[in-house]
Amino acid sequence: MRVGIEVNGKQTTEDVEDRTLLVHHLRDVLGLTATNVGCDTTSCGACTVLLDGEAVKSCTVLAAQADGHAVTTLEGLTDPDGGDLHPMQRAFREQHGLQCGFCTPGMIMASVSLLRDNPKPSRDEVRHALEGNLCRCTGYHNIVNAVMDASGQEVQA
């Protein structure tokens, strides 16, 4: 079917199989490879993107379901012409919020979604909000620090 999705502010229109998952559409058709396929079973959150501003796991959404909607991937957080990092990206870098980096795009998108709902979360609220994102390096402490930093709050040593 013909699927029209506004991706990172730009309208895209592509013919894809009805069964195409959004994450495959983003990666394989549109060439946006920041979004990772991790567990592929709605658990790990590596494929998290924003759908109409809300975090979703794009391995469990059909591209067809996103037809007529707006999707933001990690690439969409920064200016395509090489602008500054998004505050969440900057905070992840400064706080060492990543080790291998595989979970990072999903972590950042879930964190951006959290701050839209709750601009000043407590550490506990950050941990709960990221319960659908797994870091197999287990670097959670600095990830929480990064979200606290991005929200302009005190970071724990």
Partner 1 sequence: MIPAQVSYVRATSVEQTLELLAEHGDDAKVLAGGHSLLPLMKFRFAAPEVLVDIAPLDELRYVRESGEEIAIGALTRYRDLHANEILRAHAPLLAEVAGAIGDPQVRNRGTIGGSLAHADPAADLPAAALASDAVFVVRGPEGEREIAAEDFFLGPFTTPLEPDELLVEIRVPKLTGVGWGFEKFNRRAIDWAIVGVTAVGSSIALINMGGSPIRAHAAEQALADGASPAEAGALAAEDTNPADEPHASADYRRHLARVLTTRALAKVAGEWPAGLH
Residues engaged in binding partner 1 (CB under 8 A)? 1, 17-19, 21, 24, 40-43, 45, 48, 51, 54-57, 59-62, 64-65, 67, 110, 113-114, 128-129, 131-133
Closer to partner 1 by Cβ: residue 80 or 119: 119
Sheet hosting strand 48-51, strand order edge to edge: 10-15, 2-7, 70-72, 48-51, 54-57
Closest distance of CB 157 from partner 1, Å: 26
Closer to partner 1 by Cβ: residue 18 or 84: 18
Closer to partner 1 by Cβ: residue 33 or 118: 118
Q: How are beta strands 2-7 and 10-15 bridged, if at all?
A: antiparallel
CB 71 within 8 A of CB 32: no
Write down the residue that tokens 């979200």 correspond to. Answer: 147
Closer to partner 1 by Cβ: residue 39 or 80: 39
Closest distance of CB 76 from partner 1, Å: 17
Quickly list DSSP for 68-82: TSEEE-GGGGS-TTT
CB 103 within 8 A of CB 134: yes
